[in-house]
Structure 1
Amino acid sequence: MSYDNDNVFAKILRGELPNTTVYEDESVLAFNDISPRTPVHVLVIPKRPYIDMDDFAANGSTEEIGNFFAKVGEIARLVGLQEDGYRLVANNGKNSGQLVPHFHIHIMGGRPLTEDGMTAAM
Protein backbone atom coordinates (compact mmCIF):
# COMPACT_ATOMS: atom_id res chain seq x y z
CA MET A 1 0.00 0.00 0.00
CA SER A 2 1.28 3.47 -0.79
CA TYR A 3 0.52 6.66 1.07
CA ASP A 4 -2.69 8.41 -0.03
CA ASN A 5 -2.05 12.16 -0.16
CA ASP A 6 -5.81 12.77 -0.16
CA ASN A 7 -6.53 11.10 3.20
CA VAL A 8 -8.28 13.26 5.79
CA PHE A 9 -5.18 13.74 7.97
CA ALA A 10 -3.07 14.83 4.98
CA LYS A 11 -5.78 17.38 4.20
CA ILE A 12 -5.74 18.60 7.82
CA LEU A 13 -1.95 18.94 7.69
CA ARG A 14 -2.22 21.01 4.49
CA GLY A 15 -4.88 23.25 6.08
CA GLU A 16 -7.59 22.08 3.68
CA LEU A 17 -9.80 20.77 6.50
CA PRO A 18 -10.34 22.38 9.90
CA ASN A 19 -9.39 20.84 13.21
CA THR A 20 -9.28 21.81 16.85
CA THR A 21 -5.57 21.76 17.58
CA VAL A 22 -4.49 20.63 21.03
CA TYR A 23 -0.74 20.66 20.36
CA GLU A 24 1.54 21.32 17.40
CA ASP A 25 5.25 21.49 16.77
CA GLU A 26 7.49 20.95 13.73
CA SER A 27 6.90 17.18 13.59
CA VAL A 28 3.65 16.41 15.49
CA LEU A 29 0.04 17.57 15.33
CA ALA A 30 -2.56 16.67 17.97
CA PHE A 31 -6.23 17.56 17.63
CA ASN A 32 -9.61 16.64 19.06
CA ASP A 33 -11.38 13.73 17.36
CA ILE A 34 -14.51 14.92 15.50
CA SER A 35 -16.40 11.82 16.71
CA PRO A 36 -15.10 11.35 20.25
CA ARG A 37 -15.67 8.01 21.97
CA THR A 38 -14.68 9.36 25.38
CA PRO A 39 -14.91 12.79 27.05
CA VAL A 40 -11.29 13.40 26.04
CA HIS A 41 -10.35 11.92 22.65
CA VAL A 42 -7.27 13.37 20.99
CA LEU A 43 -5.58 12.15 17.81
CA VAL A 44 -1.82 12.51 17.52
CA ILE A 45 -0.19 12.27 14.10
CA PRO A 46 3.32 12.68 12.75
CA LYS A 47 3.54 15.39 10.12
CA ARG A 48 5.48 13.12 7.77
CA PRO A 49 3.46 10.71 5.59
CA TYR A 50 3.48 7.32 7.32
CA ILE A 51 0.68 4.88 6.53
CA ASP A 52 0.60 2.97 9.82
CA MET A 53 2.70 1.94 12.82
CA ASP A 54 4.59 -0.61 10.74
CA ASP A 55 5.56 2.04 8.17
CA PHE A 56 6.51 4.51 10.94
CA ALA A 57 8.66 1.94 12.78
CA ALA A 58 10.36 0.79 9.58
CA ASN A 59 10.97 4.19 7.98
CA GLY A 60 11.02 6.82 10.73
CA SER A 61 14.31 7.76 12.32
CA THR A 62 15.00 6.66 15.88
CA GLU A 63 14.90 10.32 16.90
CA GLU A 64 11.58 10.93 15.15
CA ILE A 65 9.96 7.84 16.69
CA GLY A 66 11.25 8.66 20.18
CA ASN A 67 10.12 12.28 19.91
CA PHE A 68 6.66 11.23 18.70
CA PHE A 69 6.02 8.94 21.65
CA ALA A 70 7.44 11.47 24.11
CA LYS A 71 4.98 14.00 22.69
CA VAL A 72 2.08 11.54 23.08
CA GLY A 73 2.85 11.42 26.82
CA GLU A 74 3.26 15.20 26.99
CA ILE A 75 -0.10 15.71 25.25
CA ALA A 76 -1.84 13.29 27.63
CA ARG A 77 -0.52 15.39 30.52
CA LEU A 78 -1.47 18.62 28.72
CA VAL A 79 -5.11 17.51 28.48
CA GLY A 80 -5.12 16.41 32.14
CA LEU A 81 -5.33 12.63 31.81
CA GLN A 82 -2.24 11.57 33.77
CA GLU A 83 -3.96 11.51 37.18
CA ASP A 84 -6.84 9.15 36.43
CA GLY A 85 -5.30 7.32 33.48
CA TYR A 86 -5.97 7.01 29.78
CA ARG A 87 -5.95 4.56 26.90
CA LEU A 88 -3.69 4.69 23.84
CA VAL A 89 -4.98 3.05 20.68
CA ALA A 90 -3.13 2.60 17.40
CA ASN A 91 -4.86 0.51 14.78
CA ASN A 92 -2.55 -0.97 12.15
CA GLY A 93 -4.01 -2.04 8.81
CA LYS A 94 -7.42 -3.00 7.53
CA ASN A 95 -8.06 -5.96 9.84
CA SER A 96 -7.50 -3.74 12.89
CA GLY A 97 -10.15 -1.26 11.84
CA GLN A 98 -7.71 1.47 10.78
CA LEU A 99 -9.91 3.93 8.91
CA VAL A 100 -7.41 6.63 7.90
CA PRO A 101 -4.21 5.50 6.16
CA HIS A 102 -1.99 7.93 8.07
CA PHE A 103 -0.36 6.66 11.27
CA HIS A 104 -2.10 8.04 14.34
CA ILE A 105 -2.51 7.41 18.04
CA HIS A 106 -5.79 7.92 19.89
CA ILE A 107 -5.44 9.29 23.44
CA MET A 108 -8.70 8.52 25.21
CA GLY A 109 -9.86 9.19 28.74
CA GLY A 110 -12.02 11.26 31.01
CA ARG A 111 -14.07 8.32 32.28
CA PRO A 112 -13.46 4.69 33.27
CA LEU A 113 -12.80 2.57 30.18
CA THR A 114 -13.66 -1.10 29.96
CA GLU A 115 -12.83 -3.74 27.37
CA ASP A 116 -16.45 -4.19 26.29
CA GLY A 117 -17.06 -0.44 26.09
CA MET A 118 -14.40 0.15 23.47
CA THR A 119 -14.90 -2.57 20.86
CA ALA A 120 -15.88 -0.38 17.91
CA ALA A 121 -13.30 0.52 15.26
CA MET A 122 -11.37 3.74 15.66
Structure 2
Amino acid sequence: MPLQAPYDPDNIFARILRGEIPAVRVWEDEHVLAFMDVFPQSEGHVLIVSKTSTARNLLDVEPEALARLIAATQRTARAVVKALAPEGFQIMQFNGEAGGQTVFHLHFHIVPRWPDRPMKGHGHAPMAEPEALRALADRIAAALD
Protein backbone atom coordinates (compact mmCIF):
# COMPACT_ATOMS: atom_id res chain seq x y z
CA MET A 1 0.00 0.00 0.00
CA PRO A 2 1.49 3.39 -0.98
CA LEU A 3 2.14 6.13 1.56
CA GLN A 4 -0.35 8.45 -0.11
CA ALA A 5 -3.63 6.52 -0.20
CA PRO A 6 -7.14 7.26 1.01
CA TYR A 7 -7.96 6.65 4.66
CA ASP A 8 -9.91 3.43 5.23
CA PRO A 9 -12.68 4.18 7.77
CA ASP A 10 -13.02 0.44 8.39
CA ASN A 11 -9.45 -0.09 9.66
CA ILE A 12 -9.30 -1.83 13.03
CA PHE A 13 -8.41 1.30 15.00
CA ALA A 14 -11.28 3.27 13.47
CA ARG A 15 -13.58 0.40 14.42
CA ILE A 16 -12.18 0.41 17.98
CA LEU A 17 -12.78 4.17 18.20
CA ARG A 18 -16.40 3.67 17.09
CA GLY A 19 -16.88 0.92 19.70
CA GLU A 20 -17.39 -1.83 17.12
CA ILE A 21 -14.41 -3.84 18.38
CA PRO A 22 -13.46 -4.08 22.04
CA ALA A 23 -10.16 -2.73 23.33
CA VAL A 24 -8.50 -2.74 26.72
CA ARG A 25 -8.40 1.00 27.33
CA VAL A 26 -5.78 2.58 29.56
CA TRP A 27 -7.12 6.14 29.33
CA GLU A 28 -8.72 8.52 26.89
CA ASP A 29 -9.90 12.06 26.46
CA GLU A 30 -11.74 13.82 23.65
CA HIS A 31 -8.61 13.76 21.44
CA VAL A 32 -6.69 10.53 22.06
CA LEU A 33 -7.10 6.93 23.14
CA ALA A 34 -4.41 4.86 24.86
CA PHE A 35 -5.05 1.12 24.79
CA MET A 36 -3.20 -2.15 25.18
CA ASP A 37 -1.78 -3.85 22.10
CA VAL A 38 -3.45 -7.28 21.85
CA PHE A 39 -0.29 -8.60 20.18
CA PRO A 40 2.22 -7.14 22.66
CA GLN A 41 5.88 -7.11 21.81
CA SER A 42 6.57 -6.76 25.52
CA GLU A 43 4.60 -6.70 28.75
CA GLY A 44 2.84 -3.34 28.97
CA HIS A 45 2.87 -2.51 25.22
CA VAL A 46 0.48 0.44 24.78
CA LEU A 47 -0.83 2.09 21.60
CA ILE A 48 -1.74 5.78 21.30
CA VAL A 49 -4.18 6.86 18.56
CA SER A 50 -5.93 10.07 17.63
CA LYS A 51 -9.69 10.15 18.02
CA THR A 52 -10.01 13.23 15.83
CA SER A 53 -7.58 12.73 12.94
CA THR A 54 -7.92 10.36 10.01
CA ALA A 55 -4.21 10.57 9.21
CA ARG A 56 -2.82 7.31 7.89
CA ASN A 57 0.78 8.18 8.74
CA LEU A 58 3.08 10.91 10.02
CA LEU A 59 3.00 12.72 6.66
CA ASP A 60 -0.79 13.13 6.79
CA VAL A 61 -1.38 14.30 10.35
CA GLU A 62 -2.48 17.80 11.29
CA PRO A 63 0.11 19.58 13.50
CA GLU A 64 -2.40 20.06 16.35
CA ALA A 65 -3.36 16.38 16.36
CA LEU A 66 0.31 15.37 16.27
CA ALA A 67 1.08 17.62 19.24
CA ARG A 68 -1.73 15.97 21.23
CA LEU A 69 -0.51 12.49 20.23
CA ILE A 70 3.06 13.23 21.30
CA ALA A 71 1.93 14.71 24.63
CA ALA A 72 -0.30 11.65 25.21
CA THR A 73 2.58 9.34 24.31
CA GLN A 74 4.88 11.06 26.79
CA ARG A 75 2.24 11.04 29.55
CA THR A 76 1.51 7.36 28.99
CA ALA A 77 5.21 6.41 28.78
CA ARG A 78 5.77 8.06 32.16
CA ALA A 79 2.93 5.98 33.62
CA VAL A 80 4.27 2.78 32.02
CA VAL A 81 7.69 3.41 33.57
CA LYS A 82 6.18 4.24 36.97
CA ALA A 83 3.84 1.22 36.95
CA LEU A 84 6.08 -1.47 35.46
CA ALA A 85 9.62 -0.27 36.22
CA PRO A 86 11.20 -1.32 32.92
CA GLU A 87 14.89 -0.62 32.47
CA GLY A 88 14.10 1.19 29.23
CA PHE A 89 11.37 1.64 26.65
CA GLN A 90 10.93 2.24 22.96
CA ILE A 91 8.59 4.63 21.20
CA MET A 92 7.84 3.31 17.72
CA GLN A 93 5.85 4.74 14.88
CA PHE A 94 5.74 3.05 11.47
CA ASN A 95 4.88 4.68 8.12
CA GLY A 96 3.77 2.70 5.10
CA GLU A 97 3.74 -1.02 4.56
CA ALA A 98 7.43 -1.05 3.59
CA GLY A 99 8.14 0.85 6.84
CA GLY A 100 6.44 -1.85 8.93
CA GLN A 101 3.02 -0.23 9.34
CA THR A 102 0.22 -2.80 9.62
CA VAL A 103 -2.73 -0.57 10.62
CA PHE A 104 -3.12 2.52 8.48
CA HIS A 105 -4.33 4.89 11.20
CA LEU A 106 -1.46 6.94 12.65
CA HIS A 107 -0.41 5.50 16.00
CA PHE A 108 2.49 5.36 18.42
CA HIS A 109 3.76 2.28 20.27
CA ILE A 110 5.15 2.40 23.80
CA VAL A 111 7.12 -0.81 24.36
CA PRO A 112 8.71 -1.35 27.79
CA ARG A 113 12.08 -3.15 27.70
CA TRP A 114 14.04 -5.31 30.14
CA PRO A 115 17.47 -6.75 29.32
CA ASP A 116 16.51 -10.29 30.35
CA ARG A 117 13.24 -10.41 28.36
CA PRO A 118 13.45 -10.75 24.58
CA MET A 119 11.13 -8.52 22.60
CA LYS A 120 8.68 -10.19 20.25
CA GLY A 121 8.57 -9.07 16.62
CA HIS A 122 6.17 -6.37 15.46
CA GLY A 123 3.07 -8.10 14.16
CA HIS A 124 4.43 -11.52 15.16
CA ALA A 125 3.68 -11.69 18.88
CA PRO A 126 0.96 -14.07 20.09
CA MET A 127 -2.37 -12.62 21.18
CA ALA A 128 -2.48 -11.77 24.88
CA GLU A 129 -5.23 -12.79 27.26
CA PRO A 130 -7.71 -9.94 27.87
CA GLU A 131 -7.54 -10.42 31.65
CA ALA A 132 -3.76 -10.00 31.65
CA LEU A 133 -4.05 -6.87 29.50
CA ARG A 134 -6.75 -5.44 31.80
CA ALA A 135 -4.52 -5.93 34.85
CA LEU A 136 -1.64 -4.15 33.12
CA ALA A 137 -3.91 -1.35 31.87
CA ASP A 138 -5.21 -0.80 35.40
CA ARG A 139 -1.66 -0.60 36.80
CA ILE A 140 -0.63 1.90 34.12
CA ALA A 141 -3.79 3.98 34.53
CA ALA A 142 -3.22 4.15 38.30
CA ALA A 143 0.25 5.59 37.64
CA LEU A 144 -0.95 8.43 35.36
CA ASP A 145 -0.07 11.97 36.41
Contact 1:90 1:105 in 2 (8 A): yes
Aligned to 1:31: 35
1:49 aligns with 2:15: no
Counterpart residue type for residue 107 of structure 1: I
Q: Say which SS state the counterpart of residue 55 (structure 1) adopts.
A: coil
Once residues 55 and 18 of structure 1 are traced to their aligned partners in structure 2, the CA distance between those partners, rounded to angstroms, is 26
Contact 1:98 1:121 in 2 (8 A): no
* TM-score of the superposed pair, with normalisation by structure 2: 0.71
Q: Say which SS state the counterpart of residue 79 (structure 1) adopts.
A: helix
- Unpaired runs of 5+ residues, structure 2, are 124-145
Contact 2:48 2:73 in 1 (8 A): yes
Once residues 104 and 113 of structure 1 are traced to their aligned partners in structure 2, the CA distance between those partners, rounded to angstroms, is 27
Once residues 104 and 95 of structure 1 are traced to their aligned partners in structure 2, the CA distance between those partners, rounded to angstroms, is 16
- Unpaired runs of 5+ residues, structure 1, are none
**In percent, how many aligned pairs have the same letter?**
38
1:8 aligns with 2:12: yes
Aligned to 2:88: 85
1:73 aligns with 2:78: no
Contact 2:58 2:95 in 1 (8 A): yes
Once residues 37 and 75 of structure 1 are traced to their aligned partners in structure 2, the CA distance between those partners, rounded to angstroms, is 17
Contact 1:96 1:121 in 2 (8 A): no
Q: Say which SS state the counterpart of residue 7 (structure 2) adopts.
A: coil
Once residues 119 and 21 of structure 1 are traced to their aligned partners in structure 2, the CA distance between those partners, rounded to angstroms, is 22
Deviates more, 1:79-88 or 1:1-10: 79-88
* TM-score of the superposed pair, with normalisation by structure 1: 0.84
In structure 2, do the counterparts of structure 1 residues 26 and 108 end up closer, same or farther at CA, with 3 Å as the change threshold?
A: same
Counterpart residue type for residue 51 of structure 1: R
Q: Say which SS state the counterpart of residue 45 (structure 2) adopts.
A: strand
Q: Which runs of 4+ in 1 moved over 4 A?
A: none
Give the CA RMSD over aligned residues: 2.2
Q: Say which SS state the counterpart of residue 98 (structure 2) adopts.
A: helix
